[in-house]
């Protein structure tokens, strides 16, 4: 896989939004665990997708590093990429990923920040923070904030 994800155009984001709307009609994940680490000016959030699970991420407004460990399909732009094994990707801002886990997969997104709290970091990377599973009352958040 190309180790870089470019920004998405309006048409590609519209496809991701349409996919999100379609997936919302299916049974939803009742709970998602998000591991948050805020340390040394870097915020990282990790989610674990079990085989067969799909998610549509929030619209990302900052450049990030995306680390994937597992086996999944990722929609980015006008293509679906197969990511297998361990991959670190330079990911541009202005993207909305659709991800489908073929096998159990861990996905970590990281970016530089001056945020002091998890909520501040979430608000910094997206204007859709109210839609994040980590904000859902049924989800589990494991938080580590360093010095």
Each of the 147 residues of the chain gets a pLDDT tens digit; together they read 457 888 999 999 999 999 999 998 988 888 889 999 999 999 999 999 999 999 999 999 999 999 999 999 999 877 899 999 999 999 999 999 999 999 999 999 999 999 999 999 999 999 999 999 999 998 999 999 997
Q: Which of 85, 70, 94 is nearest to 16 (CA)?
A: 94
The backbone region for 16, taken as left when phi is positive above 0, alpha when psi lies in -120 to 50, beta otherwise, is alpha
Looking at residue 129, its pLDDT comes to: 95
In a domain, 145, yes or no: no
In a domain, 56, yes or no: yes
In a domain, 42, yes or no: yes
Q: Hey, what are 131's tokens?
A: 């839609």
In a domain, 144, yes or no: no
In a domain, 142, yes or no: no
Q: Whole domain around residue 81: which residue ranges?
A: 4-23+35-136
In a domain, 146, yes or no: no
What is the rounded distance in angstroms from the CA atom of residue 53 to the CA atom of residue 59?
A: 19
Looking at residue 27, its pLDDT comes to: 84
Looking at residue 79, its pLDDT comes to: 87
In a domain, 147, yes or no: no
Q: What is the CATH number of the domain that holds 79?
A: 2.60.120.10
In the chain, alpha helices (H): 10-23, 118-125
What is the rounded distance in angstroms from the CA atom of residue 6 to the CA atom of residue 23?
A: 24
Number of domains in the chain: 1
Q: Is 139 helix (H, G, I), strand (E, B) or coil?
A: coil
Looking at residue 2, its pLDDT comes to: 53
In a domain, 28, yes or no: no
Looking at residue 76, its pLDDT comes to: 80
Looking at residue 127, its pLDDT comes to: 97
């Amino acid at each position: 896989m190309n180790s870089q994800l470019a920004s998405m155009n309006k048409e590609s984001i519209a496809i991701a939004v349409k996919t999100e709307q379609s997936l919302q009609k299916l049974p939803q994940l009742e709970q998602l665990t998000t591991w948050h680490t805020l340390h040394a000016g870097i915020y990282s959030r990790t989610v674990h997708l079990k085989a067969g699970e799909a998610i549509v991420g929030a619209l990302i407004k900052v450049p990030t590093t995306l680390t994937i460990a597992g086996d999944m399909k990722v929609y980015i732009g006008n293509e679906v990429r197969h990511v297998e094994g361990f991959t670190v990707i330079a990911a541009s801002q202005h993207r909305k990923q659709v991800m489908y886990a073929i096998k159990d997969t861990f996905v970590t997104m990281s970016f530089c920040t001056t945020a002091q709290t998890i909520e501040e970091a979430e608000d910094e990377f997206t204007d859709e923070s109210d839609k994040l599973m980590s904000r859902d009352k049924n989800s589990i958040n494991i938080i580590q904030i360093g010095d």
